[in-house]
Chain A
Amino acid sequence: MTKSYREITLEGLWTNTILFSQTLALCPMLAVTGTATNGLGLGLATTAVLVASGLLISLLRNFIEPEIRIPAYVLIIAGLVTIVDLYMNAYLHDLYKILGLFIPLIVTNCAILGRAESFASKARILPSVLDGLMMGVGFTLALVLLGAVREIVGSGTLFSGASLLLGPAFSFLEVTVIPDYPGFLIFILPPGGFIMLSLILVGKRMIDNQFEKARKARQDETDLIGGHITI
């Protein structure tokens, strides 16, 4: 597996994102993206676990025989999440009270096992860590985007509760977009997550198609010019 760092970054952030391309991790997505703040919280926690599991699995990849890789990965990921859970509860308790809800969701997140299986088990340490980081950042951005759209449509606010998650200095993020908004309940509830996700997926496919068209047009143009010169 030889992928350049640029390719890894691009895959994590756009071409192969967990949520919009692999469409993994839908269960925690539905549960959490009722607000942008919660999406950010789950995204950050998942990123931390992705980076750590990428590092550990890449480090141990020569000891883990193919036959036992799945139980070994599950063990490593579940152990990591539990340790994060314990130490956050003990030393970052205020953050834990908000994020604590999401941490058990990370264990059930198939995206982490997916990255371990398809990337970290075959790559060197640095690319694995970068892949974990970029996949995590891509996932976080996607969750924040979904959470923001659902929050605006569903309750007319944006980043509500951000000061609880990030500290009082970030209270400026909390915006009431539409004052006296009556609320649109379905977008706060899980079905709204599916509806919004599908709309965003359509949007992303359209952008990708435009890119593809532009690329093709350039290709044709160069072919044409090349043909001219030979004639």
Chain B
Amino acid sequence: MSESELNADTFKAPDGQPDAGNAMRDRIKALYMRYHDNPAYLATVLGGFCLISALILASSYMATLDPIAIRQKEDLQSSLALVIPASLHDNDLVHDAFTIKDTNGARTVYPAYRQGTLTAVAYQVSAVGYGGPILSIIGVDPNGTLLGVEVLQHTETPGLGDRIESKRGDWIKQFSGRSLAEPSEAQWKVKKDGGYFDQLSGATITPRAVVLSVRSGLEFFKAHKDEILTCPDGSCKGNRS
């Protein structure tokens, strides 16, 4: 204790004034003791936290914006590859995408071209299942025949409704090769409802929703066939290559 007092003395300025650094610290401490529970001080500290967090979040968002966009494009391409075989196209499906306006809003259509000829299109369809919306992607050839269907997102019951996923069962494969003519439009139901398609044991609502969404997708193709095949807005870049 005495040693530290001695040290403090030796660091005093020659004219007897206390050390400037110590005085500053004491003043800050006194100010802090006086104001540390003042609402204005608290608001400033919290505001400072908010500002710093906002800056860090904004810079992280900016830094990851492009990589995330690239990843999402890759995801989209890999899901498109599930319903349109690579042998059918030599273009970039995502790059050539165009939108078609429908009564339900605009729908993005991904066209597949081989040597400038349209060979297939793919687009997303959805319907409400047992646990929420079921989002699927379907591939259709120019005659309106299904090339394939894949479920992209769903919240159906694990172990029952989730067998609509291609990695959990073959159920979804029964759509390949079907069209609105085969089976007939009235037959686009699950067997339980007097239709053509198998249901899943223990789950009826889920397959019903998927059948409905695929049928509505094919009806969309039928209603907009000319638009899709001729691409009137001139945005079909694949035709140029």
A residues sitting closer than 8 Å to B (CB atoms) are 34, 63-65, 67-68, 71-72, 75-76, 79, 82-83, 86-87, 89-91, 93, 97, 154-155, 183, 185, 188-189
> A68 CA to B53 CA in the complex, in Å?
15
CB pair B64 A71 closer than 8 Å: no
B158 at the interface (CB under 8 A from A): yes
Q: Which residues of B contact A183 (CB under 8 A)?
A: 159
> A188 CA to B75 CA in the complex, in Å?
28
Chain B: how many interface residues by the 8 Å CB criterion? 24
Which 3 pairs show the lowest CB-CB distances between chains A and B? A90-B67, A90-B64, A93-B71
Given A64, A86, A185, A189, which contacts B64 in the complex, CB threshold below 8 Å? A86
- Could you tell me the dominant secondary structure of chain B's interface residues? helix
> A143 CA to B211 CA in the complex, in Å?
37
Q: Which residues of A contact B181 (CB under 8 A)?
A: none
| Given A83-B60, A89-B68, A91-B67; A65-B160 close (CB under 8 Å) | no
> A149 CA to B46 CA in the complex, in Å?
44
CB pair B56 A83 closer than 8 Å: yes
- Could you tell me the dominant secondary structure of chain A's interface residues? helix
Given A67, A68, A87, A189, which contacts B60 in the complex, CB threshold below 8 Å? A87
| Given A65-B36, A185-B160; A86-B68 close (CB under 8 Å) | yes
> A83 CA to B54 CA in the complex, in Å?
11
Interchain Cβ contacts under 8 Å between A and B, 11 examples: A65-B37, A67-B42, A71-B46, A76-B49, A86-B61, A89-B64, A91-B64, A91-B67, A93-B71, A155-B159, A189-B158
CB pair A72 B159 closer than 8 Å: no
Q: Measured between C-beta atoms, what is the minimum distance from B67 to chain A in Å?
A: 4
> A19 CA to B63 CA in the complex, in Å?
36
Q: Measured between C-beta atoms, what is the minimum distance from A23 to chain B in Å?
A: 24
Q: Measured between C-beta atoms, what is the minimum distance from B153 to chain A in Å?
A: 11
Q: Which residues of B contact A67 (CB under 8 A)?
A: 37, 42
| Given A93-B71, A188-B159; A87-B49 close (CB under 8 Å) | no
CB pair B49 A75 closer than 8 Å: yes
